[in-house]
Amino acid sequence: MCIPEIHYADNSCYLLAGTWKVASEWSLVLAACRIPHRISPGSGQYDIEVDLTDCALAVEQIRAYQHENQDWPPEQTSRAGTGSAAETVWTAALLTALMSCAFDPDFAAASKCGAARAGMIMHGEWWLAVTALTLHADPAHLLGNMLAGGFVMVHAANFMGSAMAWFLALCSGIAGNMLNAAMQPADHVSIGSSTAIFGLIGAVSAYRTVRKPWRGVKVALTPLGAGLALLGFMGSSGGNADLGAHLWGFLSGLALGGIAGMLVKARGGPSAATGFLLASAAFLIPVAAWYAAWMHCQP
Protein backbone atom coordinates (compact mmCIF):
# COMPACT_ATOMS: atom_id res chain seq x y z
CA MET A 1 0.00 0.00 0.00
CA CYS A 2 1.38 3.39 -1.03
CA ILE A 3 0.77 5.94 1.77
CA PRO A 4 0.74 9.43 0.27
CA GLU A 5 3.90 11.41 1.03
CA ILE A 6 3.04 15.07 1.56
CA HIS A 7 5.01 18.21 0.74
CA TYR A 8 3.78 21.67 1.74
CA ALA A 9 4.25 24.91 -0.21
CA ASP A 10 2.49 28.24 0.36
CA ASN A 11 -1.24 27.55 0.73
CA SER A 12 -1.13 24.12 -0.95
CA CYS A 13 -0.02 20.61 -0.15
CA TYR A 14 1.33 18.15 -2.69
CA LEU A 15 0.55 14.43 -2.54
CA LEU A 16 3.45 12.65 -4.20
CA ALA A 17 1.84 10.01 -6.44
CA GLY A 18 4.91 9.17 -8.48
CA THR A 19 3.52 7.61 -11.66
CA TRP A 20 0.77 8.91 -13.90
CA LYS A 21 -1.29 5.77 -13.20
CA VAL A 22 -1.28 6.34 -9.44
CA ALA A 23 -1.94 10.06 -9.86
CA SER A 24 -4.91 9.30 -12.11
CA GLU A 25 -6.39 6.86 -9.58
CA TRP A 26 -6.01 9.34 -6.72
CA SER A 27 -7.48 12.08 -8.87
CA LEU A 28 -10.59 9.96 -9.49
CA VAL A 29 -10.95 9.37 -5.73
CA LEU A 30 -10.70 13.07 -4.96
CA ALA A 31 -13.07 13.96 -7.80
CA ALA A 32 -15.63 11.50 -6.42
CA CYS A 33 -15.32 13.21 -3.02
CA ARG A 34 -15.60 16.64 -4.67
CA ILE A 35 -12.23 17.77 -3.35
CA PRO A 36 -10.69 20.44 -5.61
CA HIS A 37 -7.26 19.44 -6.90
CA ARG A 38 -5.06 19.26 -9.95
CA ILE A 39 -2.39 16.89 -11.22
CA SER A 40 0.97 18.63 -11.27
CA PRO A 41 3.90 17.10 -13.16
CA GLY A 42 7.13 17.42 -11.20
CA SER A 43 10.70 16.42 -11.95
CA GLY A 44 10.18 12.92 -13.30
CA GLN A 45 7.04 12.26 -11.27
CA TYR A 46 3.46 13.40 -10.80
CA ASP A 47 2.00 15.17 -7.77
CA ILE A 48 -1.54 16.11 -6.82
CA GLU A 49 -1.92 19.66 -5.63
CA VAL A 50 -4.66 20.23 -3.04
CA ASP A 51 -5.61 23.33 -1.09
CA LEU A 52 -4.09 23.30 2.39
CA THR A 53 -7.52 23.31 4.04
CA ASP A 54 -8.49 20.11 2.15
CA CYS A 55 -5.19 18.30 2.64
CA ALA A 56 -6.17 16.17 5.65
CA LEU A 57 -9.45 15.09 4.05
CA ALA A 58 -7.71 14.23 0.76
CA VAL A 59 -5.16 12.03 2.51
CA GLU A 60 -7.92 10.33 4.52
CA GLN A 61 -9.95 9.51 1.39
CA ILE A 62 -6.95 8.16 -0.50
CA ARG A 63 -5.96 5.95 2.44
CA ALA A 64 -9.56 4.66 2.69
CA TYR A 65 -9.55 3.87 -1.03
CA GLN A 66 -6.24 2.00 -0.72
CA HIS A 67 -7.51 0.03 2.28
CA GLU A 68 -10.68 -1.07 0.45
CA ASN A 69 -8.71 -2.16 -2.61
CA GLN A 70 -5.65 -3.70 -1.00
CA ASP A 71 -6.62 -7.22 -2.24
CA TRP A 72 -7.56 -6.05 -5.73
CA PRO A 73 -6.77 -7.23 -8.33
CA PRO A 74 -6.69 -10.76 -6.87
CA GLU A 75 -3.43 -12.64 -7.03
CA GLN A 76 -3.24 -14.88 -10.05
CA THR A 77 -2.56 -18.39 -8.81
CA SER A 78 -0.89 -21.07 -10.84
CA ARG A 79 -3.38 -23.01 -12.91
CA ALA A 80 -1.53 -26.08 -14.03
CA GLY A 81 -3.37 -27.84 -16.78
CA THR A 82 -5.33 -24.78 -17.89
CA GLY A 83 -6.00 -25.10 -21.59
CA SER A 84 -6.57 -22.50 -24.21
CA ALA A 85 -10.00 -21.88 -25.64
CA ALA A 86 -9.01 -23.64 -28.88
CA GLU A 87 -7.79 -26.67 -26.94
CA THR A 88 -11.06 -26.82 -25.03
CA VAL A 89 -13.15 -26.63 -28.20
CA TRP A 90 -11.17 -29.39 -29.90
CA THR A 91 -11.37 -31.54 -26.78
CA ALA A 92 -15.14 -31.05 -26.67
CA ALA A 93 -15.44 -32.03 -30.33
CA LEU A 94 -13.25 -35.12 -29.84
CA LEU A 95 -15.12 -36.31 -26.76
CA THR A 96 -18.45 -35.75 -28.49
CA ALA A 97 -17.32 -37.74 -31.51
CA LEU A 98 -16.06 -40.58 -29.32
CA MET A 99 -18.81 -40.72 -26.73
CA SER A 100 -22.04 -39.36 -28.22
CA CYS A 101 -24.54 -41.87 -29.58
CA ALA A 102 -26.66 -39.29 -31.39
CA PHE A 103 -25.66 -40.63 -34.80
CA ASP A 104 -25.43 -44.26 -33.78
CA PRO A 105 -27.19 -46.36 -36.47
CA ASP A 106 -28.58 -48.47 -33.65
CA PHE A 107 -29.66 -45.52 -31.52
CA ALA A 108 -32.69 -47.37 -30.18
CA ALA A 109 -30.45 -50.05 -28.67
CA ALA A 110 -28.05 -47.48 -27.27
CA SER A 111 -30.91 -45.54 -25.75
CA LYS A 112 -32.38 -48.68 -24.23
CA CYS A 113 -29.07 -49.53 -22.58
CA GLY A 114 -27.90 -46.03 -21.61
CA ALA A 115 -30.86 -43.72 -20.98
CA ALA A 116 -31.39 -42.50 -17.41
CA ARG A 117 -34.41 -44.49 -16.27
CA ALA A 118 -35.30 -43.34 -12.78
CA GLY A 119 -36.43 -46.71 -11.46
CA MET A 120 -33.34 -48.53 -12.72
CA ILE A 121 -30.98 -45.90 -11.31
CA MET A 122 -32.66 -46.13 -7.92
CA HIS A 123 -32.23 -49.92 -8.02
CA GLY A 124 -28.46 -49.65 -8.32
CA GLU A 125 -27.73 -49.07 -11.99
CA TRP A 126 -25.74 -45.90 -11.27
CA TRP A 127 -23.97 -45.98 -14.62
CA LEU A 128 -27.16 -44.85 -16.36
CA ALA A 129 -26.70 -41.44 -14.70
CA VAL A 130 -23.42 -41.23 -16.67
CA THR A 131 -24.30 -42.81 -20.01
CA ALA A 132 -27.42 -40.68 -20.38
CA LEU A 133 -25.21 -37.59 -20.54
CA THR A 134 -23.74 -38.82 -23.85
CA LEU A 135 -27.06 -39.68 -25.50
CA HIS A 136 -28.96 -37.21 -27.68
CA ALA A 137 -32.27 -37.72 -29.44
CA ASP A 138 -31.24 -36.22 -32.78
CA PRO A 139 -28.58 -34.01 -34.41
CA ALA A 140 -30.43 -30.82 -33.43
CA HIS A 141 -30.43 -31.88 -29.77
CA LEU A 142 -26.70 -32.65 -29.92
CA LEU A 143 -25.83 -29.42 -31.76
CA GLY A 144 -27.78 -27.27 -29.30
CA ASN A 145 -26.04 -28.82 -26.32
CA MET A 146 -22.63 -28.56 -27.98
CA LEU A 147 -23.10 -24.85 -28.68
CA ALA A 148 -24.36 -24.02 -25.18
CA GLY A 149 -21.95 -26.36 -23.44
CA GLY A 150 -18.99 -25.25 -25.52
CA PHE A 151 -19.58 -21.61 -24.61
CA VAL A 152 -19.80 -22.40 -20.89
CA MET A 153 -16.84 -24.79 -21.03
CA VAL A 154 -14.52 -22.29 -22.73
CA HIS A 155 -15.48 -19.68 -20.13
CA ALA A 156 -14.91 -22.09 -17.25
CA ALA A 157 -11.61 -23.41 -18.59
CA ASN A 158 -10.20 -19.90 -18.87
CA PHE A 159 -10.03 -19.44 -15.11
CA MET A 160 -10.32 -22.88 -13.46
CA GLY A 161 -8.49 -25.00 -16.03
CA SER A 162 -9.80 -27.48 -18.61
CA ALA A 163 -9.27 -30.53 -16.40
CA MET A 164 -11.20 -29.17 -13.43
CA ALA A 165 -13.94 -27.77 -15.66
CA TRP A 166 -14.54 -31.11 -17.39
CA PHE A 167 -14.41 -33.02 -14.10
CA LEU A 168 -16.88 -30.68 -12.39
CA ALA A 169 -19.22 -30.79 -15.39
CA LEU A 170 -19.22 -34.59 -15.38
CA CYS A 171 -19.67 -34.96 -11.62
CA SER A 172 -22.42 -32.33 -11.55
CA GLY A 173 -24.23 -34.08 -14.40
CA ILE A 174 -24.01 -37.47 -12.68
CA ALA A 175 -25.19 -36.09 -9.35
CA GLY A 176 -27.97 -34.14 -11.07
CA ASN A 177 -29.26 -37.23 -12.89
CA MET A 178 -29.19 -39.30 -9.70
CA LEU A 179 -31.02 -36.66 -7.66
CA ASN A 180 -33.52 -36.19 -10.47
CA ALA A 181 -34.14 -39.96 -10.55
CA ALA A 182 -34.82 -39.92 -6.82
CA MET A 183 -37.51 -37.25 -7.30
CA GLN A 184 -39.18 -38.66 -10.41
CA PRO A 185 -41.55 -41.63 -10.95
CA ALA A 186 -39.87 -44.93 -11.81
CA ASP A 187 -40.79 -44.72 -15.51
CA HIS A 188 -39.19 -41.30 -16.02
CA VAL A 189 -36.55 -41.32 -18.80
CA SER A 190 -33.92 -38.65 -19.43
CA ILE A 191 -31.09 -38.22 -21.93
CA GLY A 192 -28.75 -35.40 -22.94
CA SER A 193 -25.74 -33.50 -21.66
CA SER A 194 -27.80 -30.49 -20.56
CA THR A 195 -27.74 -31.73 -16.94
CA ALA A 196 -23.94 -31.49 -17.02
CA ILE A 197 -24.08 -28.11 -18.78
CA PHE A 198 -26.29 -26.60 -16.09
CA GLY A 199 -24.11 -28.33 -13.51
CA LEU A 200 -21.10 -26.50 -14.92
CA ILE A 201 -23.01 -23.20 -14.88
CA GLY A 202 -23.70 -23.80 -11.18
CA ALA A 203 -20.10 -24.82 -10.54
CA VAL A 204 -18.74 -21.69 -12.26
CA SER A 205 -21.15 -19.48 -10.30
CA ALA A 206 -20.17 -20.95 -6.93
CA TYR A 207 -16.45 -21.14 -7.79
CA ARG A 208 -16.31 -17.45 -8.70
CA THR A 209 -18.41 -16.45 -5.70
CA VAL A 210 -16.07 -18.28 -3.30
CA ARG A 211 -12.87 -17.04 -4.98
CA LYS A 212 -14.02 -13.41 -5.30
CA PRO A 213 -12.39 -11.01 -2.78
CA TRP A 214 -14.93 -9.85 -0.21
CA ARG A 215 -16.27 -6.45 -1.25
CA GLY A 216 -19.78 -6.68 0.13
CA VAL A 217 -22.70 -9.08 -0.27
CA LYS A 218 -23.92 -7.54 -3.53
CA VAL A 219 -20.55 -7.88 -5.28
CA ALA A 220 -19.83 -11.34 -3.85
CA LEU A 221 -23.15 -12.80 -5.01
CA THR A 222 -23.05 -11.34 -8.53
CA PRO A 223 -21.72 -14.58 -10.15
CA LEU A 224 -24.42 -16.59 -8.36
CA GLY A 225 -27.10 -14.22 -9.62
CA ALA A 226 -25.77 -14.56 -13.16
CA GLY A 227 -25.92 -18.36 -12.88
CA LEU A 228 -29.51 -18.27 -11.63
CA ALA A 229 -30.44 -15.96 -14.50
CA LEU A 230 -28.97 -18.42 -17.02
CA LEU A 231 -30.81 -21.28 -15.36
CA GLY A 232 -34.08 -19.39 -15.62
CA PHE A 233 -33.46 -18.27 -19.20
CA MET A 234 -32.09 -21.50 -20.68
CA GLY A 235 -33.21 -24.19 -18.27
CA SER A 236 -36.96 -23.78 -18.80
CA SER A 237 -36.95 -23.51 -22.60
CA GLY A 238 -37.96 -26.24 -24.98
CA GLY A 239 -41.02 -28.47 -24.97
CA ASN A 240 -39.01 -31.59 -24.06
CA ALA A 241 -36.75 -29.93 -21.50
CA ASP A 242 -36.25 -31.96 -18.34
CA LEU A 243 -36.61 -29.13 -15.86
CA GLY A 244 -35.88 -31.35 -12.88
CA ALA A 245 -32.57 -32.53 -14.38
CA HIS A 246 -31.59 -28.94 -15.15
CA LEU A 247 -32.36 -27.78 -11.63
CA TRP A 248 -30.65 -30.68 -9.85
CA GLY A 249 -27.64 -30.40 -12.15
CA PHE A 250 -27.34 -26.70 -11.33
CA LEU A 251 -27.67 -27.30 -7.57
CA SER A 252 -25.11 -30.12 -7.70
CA GLY A 253 -22.75 -27.83 -9.56
CA LEU A 254 -23.21 -25.13 -6.92
CA ALA A 255 -22.14 -27.54 -4.18
CA LEU A 256 -19.18 -29.01 -6.09
CA GLY A 257 -18.01 -25.67 -7.46
CA GLY A 258 -18.13 -24.14 -3.98
CA ILE A 259 -16.00 -26.96 -2.58
CA ALA A 260 -13.52 -26.66 -5.46
CA GLY A 261 -13.30 -22.90 -5.00
CA MET A 262 -12.59 -23.21 -1.28
CA LEU A 263 -9.90 -25.84 -1.88
CA VAL A 264 -8.19 -23.70 -4.52
CA LYS A 265 -8.43 -20.62 -2.31
CA ALA A 266 -6.83 -22.49 0.60
CA ARG A 267 -4.23 -24.58 -1.25
CA GLY A 268 -3.75 -22.97 -4.66
CA GLY A 269 -4.54 -24.35 -8.11
CA PRO A 270 -4.21 -28.04 -8.96
CA SER A 271 -0.76 -29.37 -9.80
CA ALA A 272 0.03 -30.86 -13.19
CA ALA A 273 -0.38 -34.36 -11.73
CA THR A 274 -3.75 -33.50 -10.20
CA GLY A 275 -4.90 -31.93 -13.47
CA PHE A 276 -3.92 -35.12 -15.32
CA LEU A 277 -5.88 -37.26 -12.86
CA LEU A 278 -8.97 -35.05 -13.16
CA ALA A 279 -8.82 -35.10 -16.98
CA SER A 280 -8.30 -38.87 -17.01
CA ALA A 281 -11.25 -39.40 -14.68
CA ALA A 282 -13.47 -37.18 -16.83
CA PHE A 283 -12.72 -39.42 -19.82
CA LEU A 284 -12.55 -42.85 -18.18
CA ILE A 285 -15.70 -42.64 -16.05
CA PRO A 286 -18.02 -42.42 -19.11
CA VAL A 287 -16.06 -45.24 -20.80
CA ALA A 288 -16.44 -47.44 -17.72
CA ALA A 289 -20.12 -46.54 -17.41
CA TRP A 290 -20.83 -47.51 -21.02
CA TYR A 291 -18.95 -50.78 -20.54
CA ALA A 292 -21.14 -51.56 -17.54
CA ALA A 293 -24.27 -50.55 -19.47
CA TRP A 294 -23.52 -52.77 -22.48
CA MET A 295 -22.55 -55.72 -20.28
CA HIS A 296 -25.78 -55.35 -18.31
CA CYS A 297 -27.78 -55.24 -21.55
CA GLN A 298 -26.42 -58.55 -22.81
CA PRO A 299 -29.04 -61.32 -22.85
Indicate whether 97 and 196 sit together in one domain: yes
Mean pLDDT of 192-216: 78
Indicate whether 153 and 236 sit together in one domain: yes
Q: Considering only residues 266 and 148, tell me which one the structure prediction assigns the higher pLDDT.
A: 266
Indicate whether 184 and 287 sit together in one domain: yes
Domain around 28: 5-68
**C-alpha count within 13 angstroms, C-beta hemisphere, residue 249:** 29
Indicate whether 116 and 194 sit together in one domain: yes
Mean pLDDT of 276-299: 85
Indicate whether 185 and 47 sit together in one domain: no
Indicate whether 50 and 126 sit together in one domain: no
Please choose, from the candidates 73, 81, 84, 78, the residue with its C-alpha nearest in 3D space to the C-alpha of residue 269. 78
Average pLDDT, the chain: 76
Indicate whether 89 and 24 sit together in one domain: no
Task: Indicate the residue among 25, 43, 68 that finishes a domain.
Answer: 68
Summarised one tens digit per residue, pLDDT across range 140-152 is 767 777 777 777 8
Percent of the residues in the chain that have a pLDDT greater than 90, as a whole number: 11
- Write down the pLDDT at residue 50: 87
Strand ranges (E), 10-111: 12-18, 37-41, 46-51
- Write down the pLDDT at residue 175: 94
Please choose, from the candidates 170, 152, 273, the residue with its C-alpha nearest in 3D space to the C-alpha of residue 223. 152
- Write down the pLDDT at residue 113: 80
In this predicted structure, the answer to whether residue 42 has a pLDDT above a threshold of 70 is no
76 falls within a domain: no
257 falls within a domain: yes
Mean pLDDT of 57-78: 68
**Contact call for residues 48 and 25 (beta carbons, < 8 A):** no
140 falls within a domain: yes
For 24-51, give one letter per residue: b (16+ CB within 10 A) or e: ebbbebbeebebebeeeeeeeebbbebe
Total domain count, the chain: 2
78 falls within a domain: no
Task: Indicate the residue among 19, 40, 68 that finishes a domain.
Answer: 68
Mean pLDDT of 216-228: 53
- Write down the pLDDT at residue 77: 45
Mean pLDDT of 50-58: 86
Indicate whether 60 and 122 sit together in one domain: no
Give the pLDDT band of residue 265 (cuts 50, 70, 90). Answer: confident
Summarised one tens digit per residue, pLDDT across range 230-248 is 555 554 555 556 778 888 8
**Contact call for residues 46 and 17 (beta carbons, < 8 A):** yes
Task: Indicate the residue among 68, 100, 120 that finishes a domain.
Answer: 68
Using CA atoms, how far apart are residues 244 and 236, in angstroms rounded to an integer?
A: 10
Task: Report yes or no on whether pTM surpasses 0.85.
Answer: no
> Residue 11: which CATH number?
3.30.70.1530
Indicate whether 114 and 187 sit together in one domain: yes
Indicate whether 23 and 144 sit together in one domain: no
> Residue 166: which CATH number?
1.20.1540.10
Beta bridge partners of residue 117, listed in sequence order:
189
59 falls within a domain: yes
Indicate whether 18 and 143 sit together in one domain: no
- Write down the pLDDT at residue 1: 46
Please choose, from the candidates 149, 153, 119, the residue with its C-alpha nearest in 3D space to the C-alpha of residue 134. 149
In this predicted structure, the answer to whether residue 53 has a pLDDT above a threshold of 80 is yes
- Write down the pLDDT at residue 72: 52
Indicate whether 98 and 132 sit together in one domain: yes
- Write down the pLDDT at residue 178: 93
